Copies of this chain bind each other. A is one copy, B any other.
Amino acid sequence: MVRRSGEATREEIRVAAARLFRERGFARTSVRDIAALAVTNPALVIRHFGTKELLFLDTMRFTIDDEPLLDVPLERFGERFIDVVLSQDDIRGVYLALVRGSNEAQIKVRLQAIHERTFVEPVRARLAGPDADVRARIAAAVVGGLLYALWVVEDEALLAADRDELIARYGALLQQALTGPTSPRPTAAPPR
């Protein structure tokens, strides 16, 4: 077998791990599988990354391209945000692996960090007022709900739904969380 530099081997392990973790998740991916795909052996995987969990954390990252969020007016932020989240293909595998792996303490911490940075912060940055933080967190929960329904549960009817209609409907809901009233009856006169 060809001798590679340490860095090259490390990288091949990383690539193999990233692929398998995304496709099969943490639990169903063995260190031996990763080693085989990287054409090396399990011991080396551990030697380079310490533990399977650390390797997982090293490879399961993503950042959304939030540029499309900056130029949109606040009234259309909801729809745009849903559009952005659903458009970035690489999110799905990582998100799924993180959610399903969140039994492990460190993976849960990573999920929290990504939730905060990807879903809470971009929203809160656009809001003001005393309830900006709560609104942003509720909005993040709503966004998480869509990913949960589509990717974790795999609600077949939602997956089959027209993409634009889904974005419009769910975007409107998210918009409500951002800029809508708090009371349940927005069009009625406030009580008393």
Interface residues of chain A, those whose CB is within 8 Å of chain B, are: 24-28, 75-76, 78-79, 99-104, 108, 111-112, 115, 120, 133-134, 137-138, 140-146, 148-150, 152-155, 157-158, 161, 165, 168-173, 175-177, 180-187
CB–CB A140/B155 < 8 A: yes
**B145 near A103 (CB under 8 angstroms)?**
no
Residue from B78, B108, B148 within 8 A of A184 (CB atoms)? B78
Specify how many copies of this chain sit in the oligomer.
Answer: 2
Contact A184 B171 (CB under 8 A): yes
Most chain B CB inside 10 Å of its own CB: which residue of A75, A104, A143, A148: A148
A149 touches B140 (CB 8 A): yes
Q: Are B185 and A115 in contact (CB under 8 A)?
A: no
Cα distance A150–B144 when bound, in Å?
A: 11
In the bound complex, CA of A129 to CA of B181 (Å): 26
Given contacts A111-B152, A112-B153, whether A142 and B186 have CB atoms under 8 Å apart is no
Contact B145 A76 (CB under 8 A): no
| Residue numbers in B under 8 Å from A25 (CB-CB) | 103
A29 to B168, CA, bound (A): 42
Q: Are B154 and A137 in contact (CB under 8 A)?
A: no
Q: How far is the CA of A9 from the CA of B140 in the complex (A)?
A: 45
> Is the Cβ of A142 less than 8 Å from the Cβ of B144?
no
Q: Contact at B168–A149, with CB atoms within 8 Å? A: no
A182 contacts B176, CB within 8 Å? no
Which B residues lie within 8 Å of A79 (CB)? Answer: 184
User: Given A99-B100, A182-B168, A183-B172, does the pair A137, B158 have CB atoms closer than 8 Å?
Assistant: yes
Is B137's CB under 8 angstroms from A157's CB? Answer: yes
Q: Are B157 and A133 in contact (CB under 8 A)?
A: yes
Assuming the contacts A99-B99, A145-B145, A173-B173, asked whether A184 and B76 have C-beta atoms less than 8 A apart, the reply is yes
